[in-house]
Structure formats: C-alpha cells, structure tokens
Structure 1
Amino acid sequence: MLHLHILSWILAIILFFAAYQNFSDRQGPSQYFKPLHMVLRVFLLLTLISGGVVFFQTMGGGMAAQYGIKFLLGLITIGLMEMTLAKKKKKKPSRTFFYLVIFFALLTIGMGIWLPMGPISAMFN
C-alpha cells in the first residue's frame, strides 16, 4: 500500500502543477484545465485513501503521534491544493496559496521520508 501512496501523491503533485499552469490570468482556463483538475481530484482521493490505510497500519507502533501529524499535514496540503485552484478559477490572487502548497508538500514529504516506514529509513533497517 505504501508504493500506491507514494505513486499517487507524486502524480497528484505533477497534476496540480499542470492544472495550475493551464489557467491563464488573462485568458482563463485552457481546454485542458478541467480534465486535469478532475484527474487531480481522483488522485487526491486515492492519496487520501492510501494514506489513511498506511496511517491505520502504523497505529500499533510507538510513533503513532508522528504519523498522525503527517496525516494532518497531508490533509492540509490536499486542502490547499483545492483552494489554490479554486482561487485561480475565480480569478483571485492565488500565489500565496501556491507557495503554501509547496511549503506544506515539502513538510509532508520530508516527514514521510523521516518516519520509519519511509523509503530512506526502510533501506537502512
């Protein structure tokens, strides 16, 4: 399940950047914006479900609080992605939310790498 989770959030980040770039402030959305946004939502849902499964698999361990914080950071990142695209769609300033998405995504990824089930931690166990 961890591999599905990693694949889904990588694709979600790529789709988020693609959808964000396919909406011009002057001309509005391109023809690819809506399909990209819909596929992004599918991958965000897949990320949320697979992250929940990974979270509940680790509940018995001694690092449940850290996994809970990572789960919360992931929810914040997903929410900020949706809010950024919604603000962009309404032609309101969205640059601050864009930078917040990058910041929280890096925090979430960093914490996921640091935790024992992370890909780098797993190599040394």
Structure 2
Amino acid sequence: MLHLHILSWVAVLILFFAAYENFSDRLGPSKYFKPLHMLLRIFLLLTLISGGYVFFQAMGANAALYGIKFLFGLLTIGLIEMTLARKKKKKPSRNFFYLTILSALITFVLGAYLPLGPITALFH
C-alpha cells in the first residue's frame, strides 16, 4: 500500500501543476483544465485512502509524527483545492500556490524521515 501511496501523491503533484498551468488568468481555462482537475480529484481520493491506510498501519511507533504528517497531508489536499478554486474564480492564487508547495514539501520530508519512509528503508 505504501507504493500505491507514493505513486498517487507523485501523480497528484504532476496533475496539480498541469491543471494550474492550464488555466490562464487572462484567457480562462484551456480545454484540458476540466479533465485534469477531475483526474486530480480521483488521485487525491486515492492518496487520501492509501495515506489513511498507511497511517493506521503505522500507529505503533512515532504515532505523533505520523499524526502530524497526516494533518499536513490533509492541509496539502485542502490547499490544492483552494488554489484551483481561486484560480477558477480569477482571484489571486499565487500565495496559495506557494503555501501548497511548502505544505507538500513538509509532508514529503516527514514521510521520508519516518520509519516507513523510502529513505529510512534504505538503511535497514
């Protein structure tokens, strides 16, 4: 399930950047924006489900850090949706974009540090 989780959040980040760039502030959405946004939501749901499974699987050790990572993951998902919603409403979204990237980086670093993370697994 961990591999599915990693695959899904990588796909989420790629689809988020693609959807964000397929909406012009001046011209509006391209014809690819809506399908990209729908596919992004499917992968967000897959990330949420697989992340919840990994969270409950790893509750034995470092439960507090896994809880913090889970909350940052939820924050990242919320910021992704808020960024694209603001972009669709033609409101300033650049600050939300940067907050999304920061939140995703914090989530990634926590996930890499924790015992089920890919970097930690290299040293066992």
Name the TM-score class by shorter chain: over 0.9
1:90 counterpart letter in structure 2: K
Q: Which runs of 5+ in 1 are unaligned?
A: none
Q: CA RMSD in A?
A: 0.4
How high is the sequence identity, in percent, across the aligned residues? 74
The SS at the match of 2:90 is coil
- In the TM superposition, residue 28 of structure 1 has moved relative to its aligned partner by 0.2
Runs ≥4 residues deviating over 6 A: none
Aligned equivalents of 1:45 and 1:76: distance in 2?
Answer: 14
1:20 counterpart letter in structure 2: Y
Question: Deviation digits for residues 24-69 of structure 1, max 9, x if unmatched?
Answer: 000000000000000000000000000000000011x221110000
2:43 equivalent to 1:43: yes
2:70 equivalent to 1:83: no
Aligned equivalents of 2:42 and 2:91: distance in 1?
Answer: 25
Question: Deviation digits for residues 75-102 of structure 1, max 9, x if unmatched?
Answer: 0000000000000000000000000000
Aligned residues: 124
TM-score by length of 2: 0.99
Q: Which runs of 5+ in 2 are unaligned?
A: none
TM-score by length of 1: 0.98
Q: After superposition, where does 1:21-36 map in structure 2 within 5 Å? A: 21-36=21-36
1:96 is matched with: 95
2:2 is matched with: 2
Aligned equivalents of 2:104 and 2:13: distance in 1?
Answer: 9
Aligned equivalents of 1:4 and 1:84: distance in 2?
Answer: 25
1:117 is matched with: 116
1:20 is matched with: 20
The SS at the match of 1:13 is helix
The SS at the match of 2:115 is coil
2:61 is matched with: 62
